[in-house]
């Protein structure tokens, strides 16, 4: 699935809990919240607001 990155809700260094919404994608006029699969610290953000992503792409890296 191709989607646009609508909002990145975290910054590098932020701590997140499992289930926190970290990125909001947009496709077919719908918002698709992406939740953290684990708790951790945001080490790297690999997508940018306004950019397009494909199914399977890594959006951000948690440590």
Partner 1 sequence: MSIRRVLVANRGEIAVRVIRACRTLGLETVAVHSDADADAVFVRLADRSVRLGPPPPAESYLRLDAVLDAARQTGADAIHPGYGFLSERPELAEACDAAGIAFVGPPASAMRLLGSKLAARELAIGHGVPVAPGSGPVRDVAAARQAARELGYPLIVKPSAGGGGIGMKVLEGDDDVEAAVTSAMKAAAAAFGDDTLYVERYVRAPRHVEVQLLCDAHGGRVHLGERECSIQRRHQKLLEESPSPAVWPELRARMGDAALRLAAAAGYVNAGTAEFMLDGEEFYFLEVNARLQVEHPVTEAVTGIDIVAAQLAVAAGEPLRITQEDVRLEGHAIEFRINAENAAKRFLPSPKAVTAWEPPTGEGVRLDSGVEAGSAVPPFYDSLLAKLVVHGPDRATAIERAAEALAAFHVEGPVTTIPYHRAVLESDDFRAGRLSTHFVDEHPELRERAAELLA
Which residues bind to partner 1, rule: CB under 8 A?
1-4, 27-30, 32
Closer to partner 1 by CB, 13 or 56: give it.
56
Closest CA to 51 of 21, 12, 14, 8: 8
Closest approach, Cβ 3 to partner 1, in A, equals 6
Closest approach, Cβ 32 to partner 1, in A, equals 6
Cα(8)–Cα(53) distance, integer angstroms: 13
Closer to partner 1 by CB, 6 or 14: give it.
6
Closer to partner 1 by CB, 32 or 40: give it.
32
Closest CA to 49 of 22, 15, 13: 22
16 touches 8 (CB < 8 A): no
């Amino acid at each position: 699935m191709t989607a646009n990155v609508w909002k990145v809700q975290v910054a590098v260094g932020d701590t997140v809990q499992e289930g926190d919404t970290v990125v909001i994608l947009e496709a077919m006029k719908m918002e698709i919240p992406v939740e953290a699969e684990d708790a951790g610290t945001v080490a790297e953000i690999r997508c940018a607001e306004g950019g397009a992503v494909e199914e399977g792409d890594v959006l951000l890296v948690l440590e």
